Every structure is written in C-alpha cells, then in structure tokens.
Chain A
C-alpha cells in the first residue's frame, strides 16, 4: 500500500480536509439530533456558514422569506437539504478545477460528481436507504482523480490508447500503467480525512462493488450513481464509456433489469437540482 501513500504524499496542492462532512455524517447517523448541534459543526467555518445561508436563500432552494441565520435555515429546509448544500460547497472546492491529466475541463468533474450524487440519491430514496450517506459517497467517488491527474499529464494519451486497443475499463488501464487506480487512491484520501469506513470502502470499490465486503451495498449505490450520470449525459473524458457492467450491483440492491431506465428518468427529473448544485462551484 506504500505506493498509494506515495502519490498522496507527493501532492502539494491537496485541498484541505473537509472535516465538517464526517462530523455531520456522524450526527446524521444518530436519531433525534438537535438542529443546534448541526449548526455548531457548520459554524466552525464562517465562510462556509455564509455560503450555505446564501444558497438556502437562492433561487432554486429559495425560501419564500429569507432565513436570517443557519439555525432557521436548518429548521425550515430540513437537515438533509442543508447537508446536501454543505457537501456540495465542500466538494466543489476539490473537484471544480480542471484535471488536465484526465482531459477534464473546468467544472466537468464537478458536474459529473453532482449528477452521480443526485442519481444515487434517487435510488436510495426509492430503496428507503440513508440518502445523505449515499449522496456523499457518490459525490466523492472520483476524488482520487484530483490526486492522479498530475501523474497522468504525460501519459493520458497512452492510457486512452491502451484502453481502446484492449477494450478494457479505464480504471484497469490506470492500475496497469500507474500501479494504482483513482478509486483506491480516493478511498485512501477519504480515510486520511477521517471519513467513516463505509464511505472509504464505497469509494474504493465504486467500479467493482462486490469487493467492498460489508459495505457492498453502499458501493453498489455509488457504482450505479456513476453509471446513471454517464447514461444521462454527464460523462467526461475521452472514453467515458470505458466502464465494466457489474450486474451484481443491481442484484445487491435487489433491483430488476427494468429498474435502470426508471432511475434514468428519475435523474432526468432532477436536472434542475443538478444544475443548482453544480452552480455552487461558481
């Protein structure tokens, strides 16, 4: 595993650890949490607090009369909605910039991430699963790409060429060329940032969810969110469909063959939400 840490240690421009997310997720997992405690965690970061409040009062999420402070926003919009915004604000800092090593223009990775998160959340909603956790895993699933992008600046052409020639998944070519892939490095990054093990495992195994053991279901949501984002047109990079079909992801969640088109429509219905969350990066 030293190789993974090498990549992380070499990186000088890593975004700061988004401490607020693991703490909020921890609160979310408890029953009957006071809004006060939620607000206190967010309020550690005054800049974040101001941005969240601004968004709560913005056109899409807009309250009829503006909320005066965060506590009021949490009370009126609900914890889940506020969490969604906090996670988007935090995530966009890391994933908004271009990642040239992957042929990713400014905002492309972020748009894909948001679309994946919203898509995965659609499935979670239908399945009665914890939406915030699923949303977070899918939102951060490609965060390893910000680490590997530098390493790929000079070998992306080779990555693409070999992927196409061998007709293999991009993630497999990555592993062959670099010794690591973006999924496992993303998982390692989240572990360093003290995210719960289930999120680490879901991100690590988001291309092959059966490897995630007891957290297989969360990995399956993440896998399917990523897939749906591609299907609905939020892919990026040179070979966006160099992905492997994993029917076990559907089976692990007890989903039938017909379910995927239904979730494509559900995701399509949320294009406005995807656009609004994408917009927080501006």
Chain B
C-alpha cells in the first residue's frame, strides 16, 4: 500500500498496484497504475477537494470464496477490497459523499454456461455493493474482450486507460 508519507517526495512518479492489491495517496505527484485487467476490476476513488484517492485491483466477487485469504489480502475480493479502499482513503481525510468513483476491467469470455463468467460476476457484485451503500459510479468502461491498463493521476483526478489492441496513447475515462 502506498503510504501518505510519499507526499514528501516532489517528483512525478508511478506507483504500481498489483493484482489483488490496493493503494491510496494524497500526493499530487503520484500516478497510481495497475496493469492488465482482464476479468479483474479496477476501481478508483477520488476526493477532488483534498485531492486524495486510491486504486484497487479486484480479482473475485466475494470473500466467502476464501475468508482466510480475505483477511490477508482484502484487495482480492469485491466486498473486502472496496471496504479496505474506502477505509484507507478516509484515513487521508477523504469523505464518502465527495468521492468520485470509476470502474474498469471485467472482461468476459463468450460463455453461456456460467462456469466462466468471473468478469460479469465481479461487476455485478461491485454494483450491488455500491447500491447498498448509496454510491454512484461517475465513469466506467467494463466488459468486452480486451485487457485494460489503468493510470490514475492524483493531481488531476484523471483516469486514463490503455486498452489492448487500441492505439498506444492512453484514452481519458474521466477527469475531476
């Protein structure tokens, strides 16, 4: 997890968030990034007033799949991951009602059997959770057959995507 103490550093730098992990920061020089979201989901939250936010790379829909794992690696699951992400952002002074949320990833193979619908289940679990807590999503790009890489700039609040097979430049998903 990126520590807020990073704010002492002035230079622009990128903090990589691994699979099943999360990071928060209030350092405007930081860009949080996560690579190669397939069926996984990337969730960014941003409080534009204090310019603090976080990025979460979720792998699976529900911590009931492996409760022991969830205590060690809360970012792996939708429920424990979102809770941990918000909690970490609150510690930086972010407030729930100011939070701008963006969601990416959740690619889904062609499957009617329900055995391989991890991407869709991740997304549905996330939306269910947000609804329960009265949270609205400001921007999303989910599903499809592609991999996505996410860059989240803490200074501007911009979330940019690099989508597999599309031009090398990143595309803007949302700003403040």
Chain A residue with the shortest CB-CB distance to B65: A261
Inter-chain contact A239/B38, CB cutoff 8 Å: no
Q: B146: which A residues are within 8 A, CB to CB?
A: 238-241
Inter-chain contact A240/B65, CB cutoff 8 Å: no
Chain A residue with the shortest CB-CB distance to B107: A241
Inter-chain contact A103/B110, CB cutoff 8 Å: no
Tell me if A's interface is mostly helix, strand, loop or mixed: loop
Inter-chain contact A239/B145, CB cutoff 8 Å: yes
Inter-chain contact B69/A245, CB cutoff 8 Å: no
Which one of A167, A234, A240, A258 lies within 8 Å of B110 (CB-CB)?
A167
A interface footprint on B4-46 (CB within 8 Å = 1, 0 otherwise): 0000000000000001100000000000000111111000000
B85, CB-defined interface residue at 8 Å: no
Number of interface residues of A (CB under 8 A): 36
**Interface size bucket, B side?**
20 to 34
Inter-chain contact A247/B115, CB cutoff 8 Å: yes
B interface footprint on A241-275 (CB within 8 Å = 1, 0 otherwise): 11111110010000001101110110010010000
A227, CB-defined interface residue at 8 Å: yes
Chain A residue with the shortest CB-CB distance to B62: A261
A interface footprint on B104-128 (CB within 8 Å = 1, 0 otherwise): 0001111111111111000000000
Inter-chain contact A241/B109, CB cutoff 8 Å: yes
A230, CB-defined interface residue at 8 Å: yes
Inter-chain contact A232/B59, CB cutoff 8 Å: yes
Inter-chain contact B76/A265, CB cutoff 8 Å: yes
Q: How far is the CA of A123 from the CA of B154 in the complex (A)?
A: 40
Inter-chain contact B38/A235, CB cutoff 8 Å: yes
B164, CB-defined interface residue at 8 Å: yes
A160, CB-defined interface residue at 8 Å: yes
Chain B residue with the shortest CB-CB distance to A156: B165
Q: How far is the CA of A103 from the CA of B117 in the complex (A)?
A: 26
Q: Which of B35, B59, B66, B144 has the most CB of A within 10 A?
A: B59
- Taking the nearest CB of chain B, how far is it from the CB of A129, in angstroms? 19
Q: B35: which A residues are within 8 A, CB to CB?
A: 233
B60, CB-defined interface residue at 8 Å: yes
Inter-chain contact B36/A244, CB cutoff 8 Å: no
Given A250-B115, A264-B59, are A230 and B69 also a contact pair (CB < 8 Å)? Answer: no
B147, CB-defined interface residue at 8 Å: yes
Q: How far is the CA of A168 from the CA of B111 in the complex (A)?
A: 11
- Taking the nearest CB of chain B, how far is it from the CB of A203, in angstroms? 20
Inter-chain contact B116/A164, CB cutoff 8 Å: no
Q: A243: which B residues are within 8 A, CB to CB?
A: 109-110
Which one of A234, A245, A250 lies within 8 Å of B112 (CB-CB)?
A245
A interface footprint on B78-113 (CB within 8 Å = 1, 0 otherwise): 000000000000000000000000000001111111
Inter-chain contact B116/A260, CB cutoff 8 Å: yes
A interface footprint on B126-156 (CB within 8 Å = 1, 0 otherwise): 0000000000000000001111000000000
Q: How far is the CA of A246 from the CA of B40 in the complex (A)?
A: 20
Given A164-B145, A262-B66, are A245 and B38 also a contact pair (CB < 8 Å)? Answer: no
Chain B residue with the shortest CB-CB distance to A233: B36
Q: A246: which B residues are within 8 A, CB to CB?
A: 113
A interface footprint on B58-78 (CB within 8 Å = 1, 0 otherwise): 011000011001000000100
Q: How far is the CA of A160 from the CA of B165 in the complex (A)?
A: 9
Inter-chain contact A265/B164, CB cutoff 8 Å: no
Inter-chain contact A237/B110, CB cutoff 8 Å: no
Chain A residue with the shortest CB-CB distance to B34: A233
- Taking the nearest CB of chain A, how far is it from the CB of B64, in angstroms? 10
- Near B by CB (< 8 A), chain A positions 56-93 give none
Q: Which 8 residue pairs spanning A and B have beta carbons closest together?
A: A238-B165, A245-B111, A247-B113, A241-B145, A245-B116, A233-B36, A239-B145, A243-B109
Seed contacts A231-B38, A245-B113, A260-B115; 10 additional CB < 8 Å A-B pairs: A169-B110, A227-B109, A234-B36, A240-B164, A250-B115, A258-B65, A261-B60, A261-B65, A264-B59, A265-B76
